[in-house]
Amino acid sequence: MKKISKRSAFTLIELLIVIAVIGILAAMLFPAIQSVMGSAQGTQVANNGKQIVMAITSANIERTSGMRGEVWPGKGKWQDSNAYFARLMGDGGKAVITGISVSTFAGGGVDPAADLSEFKTKGNIWTMLAGIANCADARTPFMWTRNFDIALNDFGDAQKTEDDWSTKLQEGVKPFTTEEVVMVSKGAAMFPLKASSLTNKAFLGGTTNSTTAIEIVKALGSEAGAAEQSDF
């Protein structure tokens, strides 16, 4: 009569060891997965931002040929980013830009607004400083994600060190919080930048010193920089 062998099985200790090993491997892989997902989100947001600036540029070319003023946000008007972008898309009048919807302004964990009315209070990840585009070249940042909190006087700080810009990233503010920022220049170049890459050179569009920043602030105080804009 043949002997019946006992069925082999994991003991409780062996099972716990396997679970522990899987947990360790998952913990090791998580930062890499998170980094890849963050980079993908940054690229998507940057592409959307490029579309927005290209749409504004296209509208300006068309308006200039028709002897009408440009629609870059002037210092004396459109201080609120949400109101400015909403007006470009047609809130309160005819749309200035085409091919752009409220969903283009969302991303990175921020849901799009339901319509232009709601867009004025939510669903927009982009911010800008009125007046910069009027007196800057194509390399200068025109808009950036809302987790990057800067003011006009930041542009004229000649003593700012190479690492100071990373301190402008805000904890808990979507998208990206203190991890990175996406910037789009007036010439529609896009820059998804990690916190460690936020140097003067990167922020000022390739310049090696703060001369451009100081010139921008001077222009903002001039007649050209302070000019009012129409309602489009």
Domain count, the chain: 1
CA 131 from chain centre, in angstroms, equals 18
Least confident of 140-154, 171-185, 206-220: 206-220
The whole-number average pLDDT for the span 117-130 is: 90
The reply to whether omega before 31 is within 30° of 0 (cis) is no
State the average pLDDT for the chain: 78
Q: What is the pTM of this model?
A: 0.77
Does residue 94 carry a pLDDT above 70?
yes
More confident of the two residues 5 and 85: 85
| The pLDDT of residue 191 | 84
| The pLDDT of residue 66 | 77
Domain enclosing residue 30, as ranges: 14-220
Does residue 195 carry a pLDDT above 70?
yes
DSSP H or E segment with residue 30: helix 12-65
Does residue 211 carry a pLDDT above 60?
no
Per the DSSP assignment, residues forming a β-bridge with 192 are 182
Residue 232 in any domain: the answer is no
**Rounded to the nearest 5°, which phi and psi values hold at 224?**
-70, -40
| Residue 106: exposure state from Cβ atoms within 10 A (0-12, 13-18, ≥19) | buried
Residue 5 in any domain: the answer is no
Residue 229 in any domain: the answer is no
pLDDT in tens, 161-191: 555 688 889 999 999 999 889 989 888 888 8
Residue 227 in any domain: the answer is no
Q: Label residue 221 by pLDDT band (50, 70, 90).
A: low
For the sheet with 180-185, list strands across it. 126-128, 141-145, 180-185, 190-194
Residue 51 in any domain: the answer is yes
Does residue 24 carry a pLDDT above 60?
yes
In our burial notation (b when 16+ CB lie closer than 10 A, e otherwise), range 117-149 reads eebbeebbbbbbbbbbbbbbeeebbbbbbbbbe
* DSSP three-state, residue 142: strand
Who contacts 188 (Cβ-Cβ below 8 Å, separation ≥6)? Answer: 50, 53, 54, 57
pLDDT in tens, 104-123: 999 888 999 999 999 989 99
Residue 217 to residue 16: CA distance in whole angstroms: 63
- Tell me if 184 sits within 8 A of 52, measured CB to CB: yes
